[in-house]
Amino acid sequence: MKLYKNLLILLLFILTISTNCFALTVGAAISLQNPLKEIARTYPGEISFVWGATGDIIKQINAGAPIDMLAALYDKKYRELQLKPVYIATNTLVLALSKKSPIRITSIEELNKVSLFSVGNPATVPLGEYGEQVLKHYKLYDSLKKKIIYCTNAAQVISYLTRGEVDGAFVYKTDFDKVKDNLIKVTDIDAKIHAPIIYAAGVTKVGADNREAEKFLHYLKSEKARSVFRRFGFGAIND
Protein backbone atom coordinates (compact mmCIF):
# COMPACT_ATOMS: atom_id res chain seq x y z
CA MET A 1 0.00 0.00 0.00
CA LYS A 2 2.83 2.35 0.93
CA LEU A 3 4.61 1.50 -2.34
CA TYR A 4 1.40 2.25 -4.26
CA LYS A 5 1.08 5.65 -2.58
CA ASN A 6 4.70 6.48 -3.34
CA LEU A 7 4.25 5.52 -6.99
CA LEU A 8 1.09 7.64 -7.18
CA ILE A 9 2.91 10.64 -5.69
CA LEU A 10 5.78 10.14 -8.14
CA LEU A 11 3.36 9.92 -11.07
CA LEU A 12 1.59 13.11 -10.02
CA PHE A 13 4.95 14.85 -9.68
CA ILE A 14 5.97 13.76 -13.19
CA LEU A 15 2.65 14.93 -14.61
CA THR A 16 3.05 18.30 -12.89
CA ILE A 17 6.55 18.75 -14.27
CA SER A 18 5.38 17.77 -17.75
CA THR A 19 2.50 20.23 -17.61
CA ASN A 20 4.78 23.04 -16.50
CA CYS A 21 7.30 22.22 -19.23
CA PHE A 22 4.68 22.55 -21.92
CA ALA A 23 2.80 25.52 -20.44
CA LEU A 24 3.13 28.73 -22.43
CA THR A 25 3.23 32.27 -21.08
CA VAL A 26 2.25 34.98 -23.55
CA GLY A 27 2.76 38.67 -22.89
CA ALA A 28 -0.05 40.38 -24.79
CA ALA A 29 -1.41 43.85 -25.45
CA ILE A 30 -4.68 44.56 -23.65
CA SER A 31 -6.33 45.44 -26.97
CA LEU A 32 -5.90 41.77 -28.01
CA GLN A 33 -7.55 40.39 -24.88
CA ASN A 34 -10.87 39.31 -26.39
CA PRO A 35 -9.61 37.46 -29.48
CA LEU A 36 -6.64 35.85 -27.73
CA LYS A 37 -8.79 34.53 -24.89
CA GLU A 38 -11.16 33.02 -27.45
CA ILE A 39 -8.29 31.53 -29.48
CA ALA A 40 -6.74 30.08 -26.31
CA ARG A 41 -10.01 28.30 -25.50
CA THR A 42 -9.81 26.35 -28.76
CA TYR A 43 -6.06 25.74 -28.64
CA PRO A 44 -5.07 22.23 -27.46
CA GLY A 45 -2.58 23.38 -24.86
CA GLU A 46 -2.20 25.34 -21.64
CA ILE A 47 -1.64 29.09 -22.05
CA SER A 48 -1.32 31.82 -19.46
CA PHE A 49 -1.38 35.51 -20.38
CA VAL A 50 0.34 38.58 -19.00
CA TRP A 51 -1.76 41.56 -20.11
CA GLY A 52 -0.53 45.13 -20.32
CA ALA A 53 0.60 48.01 -22.47
CA THR A 54 3.04 46.90 -25.15
CA GLY A 55 5.86 49.04 -23.74
CA ASP A 56 5.38 47.69 -20.22
CA ILE A 57 5.46 44.07 -21.37
CA ILE A 58 8.61 44.71 -23.39
CA LYS A 59 10.25 46.16 -20.27
CA GLN A 60 9.41 42.92 -18.43
CA ILE A 61 10.87 40.83 -21.26
CA ASN A 62 14.07 42.89 -21.27
CA ALA A 63 14.30 42.39 -17.51
CA GLY A 64 14.25 38.60 -17.99
CA ALA A 65 10.63 37.88 -17.07
CA PRO A 66 9.53 34.29 -17.90
CA ILE A 67 7.50 35.29 -20.96
CA ASP A 68 7.73 32.88 -23.90
CA MET A 69 5.97 34.96 -26.53
CA LEU A 70 5.02 38.56 -27.21
CA ALA A 71 1.73 39.32 -28.98
CA ALA A 72 1.37 43.06 -29.36
CA LEU A 73 1.50 46.03 -31.69
CA TYR A 74 4.53 45.87 -33.93
CA ASP A 75 6.04 49.26 -33.13
CA LYS A 76 9.59 50.56 -32.74
CA LYS A 77 10.05 49.03 -29.27
CA TYR A 78 8.84 45.66 -30.51
CA ARG A 79 11.27 45.78 -33.44
CA GLU A 80 14.14 46.55 -31.07
CA LEU A 81 13.63 43.13 -29.45
CA GLN A 82 14.70 41.57 -32.77
CA LEU A 83 12.16 38.77 -32.54
CA LYS A 84 11.06 37.03 -35.72
CA PRO A 85 7.54 38.48 -36.07
CA VAL A 86 4.47 36.73 -37.40
CA TYR A 87 1.85 39.31 -38.33
CA ILE A 88 -1.53 38.32 -36.95
CA ALA A 89 -4.00 41.23 -37.20
CA THR A 90 -4.56 44.90 -37.99
CA ASN A 91 -6.64 47.69 -36.47
CA THR A 92 -7.75 51.26 -37.22
CA LEU A 93 -8.24 54.47 -35.24
CA VAL A 94 -11.46 56.30 -34.45
CA LEU A 95 -11.93 59.82 -33.09
CA ALA A 96 -14.77 59.51 -30.58
CA LEU A 97 -16.65 61.70 -28.11
CA SER A 98 -18.24 60.72 -24.83
CA LYS A 99 -22.04 60.91 -24.79
CA LYS A 100 -21.68 62.29 -21.26
CA SER A 101 -19.78 65.31 -22.57
CA PRO A 102 -21.66 68.43 -23.76
CA ILE A 103 -19.05 68.95 -26.49
CA ARG A 104 -20.12 68.09 -30.03
CA ILE A 105 -17.86 68.33 -33.08
CA THR A 106 -18.15 66.95 -36.59
CA SER A 107 -14.52 66.86 -37.71
CA ILE A 108 -11.01 66.48 -36.34
CA GLU A 109 -10.28 70.11 -37.22
CA GLU A 110 -12.69 71.16 -34.44
CA LEU A 111 -10.79 69.34 -31.69
CA ASN A 112 -9.77 72.61 -30.04
CA LYS A 113 -13.36 72.84 -28.73
CA VAL A 114 -12.78 70.00 -26.25
CA SER A 115 -11.82 70.72 -22.65
CA LEU A 116 -10.06 67.40 -21.99
CA PHE A 117 -8.76 64.88 -24.51
CA SER A 118 -7.32 61.45 -23.78
CA VAL A 119 -4.49 59.61 -25.52
CA GLY A 120 -2.18 56.81 -24.50
CA ASN A 121 1.22 57.70 -23.13
CA PRO A 122 3.46 57.73 -26.24
CA ALA A 123 6.41 56.50 -24.15
CA THR A 124 4.80 53.13 -23.44
CA VAL A 125 1.54 52.87 -25.41
CA PRO A 126 1.47 52.57 -29.22
CA LEU A 127 -2.03 54.12 -29.21
CA GLY A 128 -0.38 57.25 -27.83
CA GLU A 129 2.19 57.26 -30.63
CA TYR A 130 -0.52 57.01 -33.28
CA GLY A 131 -2.58 59.74 -31.63
CA GLU A 132 0.37 62.07 -31.39
CA GLN A 133 1.16 61.50 -35.07
CA VAL A 134 -2.42 62.39 -36.02
CA LEU A 135 -2.46 65.56 -33.92
CA LYS A 136 0.85 66.70 -35.40
CA HIS A 137 -0.37 65.96 -38.92
CA TYR A 138 -3.33 68.30 -38.37
CA LYS A 139 -1.09 70.81 -36.51
CA LEU A 140 -3.23 70.46 -33.38
CA TYR A 141 -0.68 69.05 -30.95
CA ASP A 142 0.67 72.35 -29.59
CA SER A 143 -2.77 73.85 -29.01
CA LEU A 144 -4.13 70.69 -27.37
CA LYS A 145 -1.20 69.47 -25.26
CA LYS A 146 -2.40 71.26 -22.10
CA LYS A 147 -5.77 69.52 -22.47
CA ILE A 148 -4.35 66.02 -22.93
CA ILE A 149 -4.78 63.33 -20.28
CA TYR A 150 -2.17 60.61 -20.84
CA CYS A 151 -3.24 57.05 -20.05
CA THR A 152 -1.21 53.95 -19.23
CA ASN A 153 -2.95 51.69 -21.76
CA ALA A 154 -5.72 51.58 -24.37
CA ALA A 155 -8.23 50.20 -21.85
CA GLN A 156 -7.78 53.24 -19.61
CA VAL A 157 -8.36 55.57 -22.56
CA ILE A 158 -11.69 53.94 -23.37
CA SER A 159 -12.63 53.85 -19.67
CA TYR A 160 -12.06 57.59 -19.21
CA LEU A 161 -14.06 58.28 -22.36
CA THR A 162 -17.09 56.14 -21.52
CA ARG A 163 -17.26 57.59 -17.99
CA GLY A 164 -17.19 61.13 -19.37
CA GLU A 165 -13.96 62.07 -17.59
CA VAL A 166 -12.70 63.41 -20.92
CA ASP A 167 -14.62 64.86 -23.86
CA GLY A 168 -12.88 62.93 -26.61
CA ALA A 169 -10.14 60.47 -27.47
CA PHE A 170 -8.47 58.48 -30.18
CA VAL A 171 -9.41 54.83 -29.67
CA TYR A 172 -9.00 51.61 -31.58
CA LYS A 173 -11.98 50.68 -33.73
CA THR A 174 -12.24 47.34 -31.92
CA ASP A 175 -12.49 49.12 -28.54
CA PHE A 176 -15.00 51.63 -29.90
CA ASP A 177 -17.23 48.83 -31.20
CA LYS A 178 -17.40 47.22 -27.74
CA VAL A 179 -18.84 50.35 -26.07
CA LYS A 180 -20.26 52.30 -29.02
CA ASP A 181 -23.62 52.81 -27.28
CA ASN A 182 -21.82 55.14 -24.84
CA LEU A 183 -19.82 57.02 -27.47
CA ILE A 184 -20.23 59.17 -30.57
CA LYS A 185 -18.03 58.52 -33.57
CA VAL A 186 -16.71 61.73 -35.08
CA THR A 187 -14.65 60.12 -37.82
CA ASP A 188 -12.45 57.21 -38.79
CA ILE A 189 -8.82 58.29 -38.97
CA ASP A 190 -7.08 57.95 -42.32
CA ALA A 191 -4.50 55.17 -41.86
CA LYS A 192 -2.07 57.00 -44.15
CA ILE A 193 -1.34 59.72 -41.58
CA HIS A 194 -0.03 57.48 -38.81
CA ALA A 195 2.17 54.39 -38.55
CA PRO A 196 0.51 51.09 -39.55
CA ILE A 197 -1.45 49.44 -36.73
CA ILE A 198 -0.23 45.87 -37.09
CA TYR A 199 -0.14 43.22 -34.38
CA ALA A 200 2.62 40.63 -34.37
CA ALA A 201 3.52 37.55 -32.35
CA GLY A 202 7.08 36.45 -31.76
CA VAL A 203 8.96 33.95 -29.61
CA THR A 204 11.28 35.49 -27.02
CA LYS A 205 14.70 34.22 -25.95
CA VAL A 206 13.04 32.68 -22.89
CA GLY A 207 10.59 30.79 -25.11
CA ALA A 208 13.16 29.61 -27.65
CA ASP A 209 13.35 26.14 -26.07
CA ASN A 210 9.62 25.86 -25.42
CA ARG A 211 8.03 23.73 -28.15
CA GLU A 212 4.60 25.12 -27.29
CA ALA A 213 5.72 28.59 -28.38
CA GLU A 214 6.27 27.57 -32.00
CA LYS A 215 3.10 25.47 -31.98
CA PHE A 216 0.97 28.38 -30.76
CA LEU A 217 2.67 30.73 -33.22
CA HIS A 218 1.68 28.38 -36.03
CA TYR A 219 -1.88 28.19 -34.64
CA LEU A 220 -2.18 31.99 -34.69
CA LYS A 221 -1.62 31.86 -38.46
CA SER A 222 -4.42 29.34 -38.99
CA GLU A 223 -7.73 30.22 -40.61
CA LYS A 224 -9.46 29.28 -37.35
CA ALA A 225 -7.52 31.97 -35.47
CA ARG A 226 -7.94 34.51 -38.27
CA SER A 227 -11.70 34.05 -38.17
CA VAL A 228 -11.67 34.90 -34.45
CA PHE A 229 -9.77 38.13 -35.09
CA ARG A 230 -12.32 39.07 -37.77
CA ARG A 231 -15.22 38.34 -35.44
CA PHE A 232 -13.84 40.83 -32.92
CA GLY A 233 -13.46 43.54 -35.56
CA PHE A 234 -9.76 43.20 -36.37
CA GLY A 235 -8.41 42.98 -39.86
CA ALA A 236 -6.88 39.57 -40.46
CA ILE A 237 -3.54 39.49 -42.25
CA ASN A 238 -3.86 38.47 -45.93
CA ASP A 239 -7.51 39.61 -46.07
Digit-by-digit pLDDT tens for the chain (239 residues) are 544 443 443 343 333 334 444 489 999 998 899 999 999 999 999 999 999 988 899 999 999 999 999 999 998 889 999 999 999 999 999 999 999 999 999 999 999 999 999 999 998 889 999 999 999 999 999 999 999 999 999 999 999 999 999 999 999 999 999 999 999 999 999 999 999 999 999 999 999 999 999 999 999 999 999 999 999 999 987 65
pLDDT of residue 1: 53
β partners of residue 157: none
Q: Where in the chain is the domain with CATH 3.40.190.10?
A: 2-90+198-236, 93-193
| Crossing angle (nearest 10°) for helices 223-231 and 211-220 | 60
Cβ atoms 53, 44 nearer than 8 A = no
In degrees rounded to 5, what are phi and psi of residue 146?
-75, -10
Q: What's the pLDDT score for residue 54?
A: 87
Determine the Cα–Cα distance for residues 143 and 165; give it in Å rounded to an integer.
20
Bridging pattern class, strands 24-29 and 69-73 = parallel
Q: What architecture (CATH level 2) is domain 2-90+198-236?
A: 3-Layer(aba) Sandwich (3.40)
Architecture per CATH, 93-193:
3-Layer(aba) Sandwich (3.40)
CB neighbours of 117 closer than 8 A, spacing ≥ 6? 111, 144, 147, 148, 149, 166, 167, 168, 169
